[in-house]
Structure 1
Amino acid sequence: MGVSPIFCFSQERFSVAKLDQLHAMLAPVVEGLGYDCWGIEYLAQGKHSLLRVYIDHADGIGVEDCEKVSRQVSGVLDVEDPISAEYTLEVSSPGMDRPLFTLPQFAAWAGSQVKIKLRVPFEGRRNFQGLLKGIEEQDVVVQVDDHEFLLPIDSIDKAQVIPRFD
């Protein structure tokens, strides 16, 4: 009697080192076009993998901006070929529910409501939603109800601002 293999498919992300490599490669291209490279996400999903590059600008981002950056970034990715699997490139504005990637971004959005998901549990939980108080050294400070948590930036898998509609 044979044993059937078990396949596990997940929405795994690239390693932090791989994302850093992509950021180092693509940020100068984005910035050379006059935009801020807000962040990069990669969602591995077989043939439906997605590389998302977030761009920002003081005057806002339109479809034309995304098209312009997409053409340039696509050219660099074609030449450098840093991702061996098939993927779709998406260039986007961070939007109102903008993701947060870096300590300066967390500091700039202090006072906002945020959702944070960790790679591994901290004090028994992976999900936090509350008031972003700021940063302390390499930690993000978030207040959930009456408790403040200092979450190490390296343990954050995903963080985003919760938009306010006043």
Structure 2
Amino acid sequence: MAFEDKKTDNIEETIRVLVEPLVLHAGMELLGVEYAGSRLVLTIDKPGGVTVDDCAHVSRIVGDLLDIKDPVPGRYNLEVSSPGINRPLTREEDFTRFAGEKIVLKTKDPINGRRRFKGTLEGMEDGLIRLSSGKDTFEIPFDRIARARLDIL
């Protein structure tokens, strides 16, 4: 992993730790934090889905906290959004819930010489995500996943 990737991962984790309690208190779940360049994207969800008003509310409360704590170097644009059709998969239960769906995932380090995988999620058991792609089936440890999302489109 390049130095910049590690730096970005640390910023994303710092932001997650700071804002997740506020998002939970607002009755929503923080699904993802992505920081790239001058863009910070928070993905939120709740049963029944999120509204534009939900996104605006979270943007206000989180924006105020981030202005005070200042974990992001320089200027950035804060975006708060719903997971949309290509929802990120961040928790172990997501990999059980979305079994049978097409997904894309990237590992933290190479597995069998590769970091990117695309295929049908077969499920998760004993900390291993099972993914089939054509004739191949892969078992990928949950703790080695950097990012994963549904691949509907």
Q: TM-score interval w.r.t. the shorter chain?
A: 0.7 to 0.9
Q: CA RMSD in A?
A: 2.2
Task: Give structure 1 stretches of 5+ with no counterpart.
Answer: 1-9
Q: Distance in 2 between matches of 1:136 and 1:52?
A: 30
How do 1:90-129 and structure 2 match up within 5 A? 90-129=79-118
How far 1:139 sits from its partner (Å)? Answer: 2.7
Give SS of 1:30's match: helix
- 8 Å contact kept, 2:11–2:72: no
How far 1:85 sits from its partner (Å)? Answer: 2.6
1:86 match: 75
- 8 Å contact kept, 2:59–2:79: yes
1:36 match: 29
Aligned residues between the structures: 151
Q: After the TM superposition, list the runs of 4 or more consecutive aligned residues in structure 1 that deviate by more than 6 angstroms.
A: none
- 8 Å contact kept, 1:14–1:42: no
Task: Give structure 2 stretches of 5+ with no counterpart.
Answer: none
Question: Which stretch of structure 1 is more off in the superposition, 56-65 or 131-140?
Answer: 131-140
Q: CA separation of 1:13/1:96 partners in 2, compared to 1, >3 Å: closer, same or farther?
A: farther
TM-score of the superposed pair, with normalisation by structure 2: 0.85
Identity over aligned residues, as a percent? 34
Q: Distance in 2 between matches of 1:140 and 1:86?
A: 37
How far 1:13 sits from its partner (Å)? Answer: 6.4
Counterpart of 1:36, as a letter, is E
Q: 2:138 aligns with which of 134, 149, 152?
A: 149
2:63 match: 74
- For residues 38-84 of structure 1, the C-alpha deviation after alignment (integer angstroms, 9 at most, x for no partner) is 121112x2xxx211111101121222111111000001111111122
- For residues 89-143 of structure 1, the C-alpha deviation after alignment (integer angstroms, 9 at most, x for no partner) is 1100011111112222222212211011223321122221111112233332211
How far 1:24 sits from its partner (Å)? Answer: 1.9
Give SS of 2:117's match: strand
- 8 Å contact kept, 2:55–2:80: yes
Higher relative contact order (CA 8 A, sep 6+): 2
Q: 1:59 aligns with which of 32, 48, 65?
A: 48
How far 1:11 sits from its partner (Å)? Answer: 7.7
